[in-house]
Amino acid sequence: MNINHHLDEATLFSYVAGALSQGMALVVASHISICDSCRERVFETEAIGGALLDDVVNDNSPDSSSVSVKVNETALEQVLACLDEEAPVTTPGKIPPDGESTVGNTSEVPAPLRDYIGGSLDAVQWKRLSSGFYYFDVFSEQRGICRLLKVAPGKSILHHGHHGNELTLLLRGSYADEVGRFAQGDIADLDDQIEHQPLVDGDENCICLVATDYPLRFTTLLGKVIQPMTGF
């Protein structure tokens, strides 16, 4: 897959730190699963986490950031007693819901997203928003959203900005906006500095996974009027 738009370093860093909202973490994990270069960057960033773990308790250093924590003495015995117990070794994010992995074009749905929507974009229970616009809420968030959007060719999303971050992963089709042109696998990693109006420029539906950590900031009166109805 030819991916031209990648994750911002700050987003990738917070994902590794475990500091992203559930929705944004899902978009990031989905992109990383299909993007070799971002995955390499993740490995590097995880090493920072390892170094912090190494440093959090360091008996050799009087560093004030280090804390002394003792583990309950019987804890080791308890955990040793569990070692021989059979445990299902599951790797989260790798196992699609039963029976759905073979339906449709699974390569369009990155593995982490498969846990939530199954293996086919065509099997999603789309809800109509308006003519040419469909959505499916992957799950609801406290402040932002995490949803799939399906937009027909030639349609444009109302001009808007952001109060916080907005992550968009292209799963099918393409769109163009003030930032550039985005196609399958690309990620648009935007923040409150960007205002844009994405236009679906191909001849097929554009399907993307979008997560925000704040409601959008529509710049037109129409956008402001319909915002409560759209859930954005």
Partner 1 sequence: MVNVVPIRKNSMTAIQSKVWSAMLAEMAVTKDKSLYIQLYQHFAPKVKAYITRLGVMEATAEELTQEAMLNMWRKSHLFQPEKSAASTWLFTLARNQSIDWMRKHKYPEYSLDNMQGGIEEVSETDIGEQSVQSERIAQAISQLPENQALVVYMSFYEGRSHSEIADRLMIPLGSVKSRIRLAAEKLKLTLRGELSLGGEQ
Nearer to partner 1 by Cβ, of 10 and 222: the residue is 10
**DSSP string covering 19-37:** -S-HHHHHHHHHHHHH-HH
Nearer to partner 1 by Cβ, of 20 and 207: the residue is 20
Nearer to partner 1 by Cβ, of 32 and 207: the residue is 32
We find the least distance from the C-beta atom of residue 232 to partner 1, in angstroms, to be: 17
Q: Which amino acid is at 144?
A: G
Please check whether residue 191 is in contact with residue 163, taking contact to mean a CB–CB distance below 8 angstroms. Answer: no
We find the least distance from the C-beta atom of residue 205 to partner 1, in angstroms, to be: 24
We find the least distance from the C-beta atom of residue 85 to partner 1, in angstroms, to be: 9
Task: Quote the CA–CA distance of 126 and 187 in Å, as a whole number.
Answer: 22
Nearer to partner 1 by Cβ, of 82 and 221: the residue is 82
3-state secondary structure 116-179: HHCCCHHHCCCEEEECCEEEEEEEECCCCEEEEEEECCCCECCCEEECCCEEEEEEECCEECCC
Strand pairing category for 216-218 and 160-162: antiparallel
We find the least distance from the C-beta atom of residue 95 to partner 1, in angstroms, to be: 10
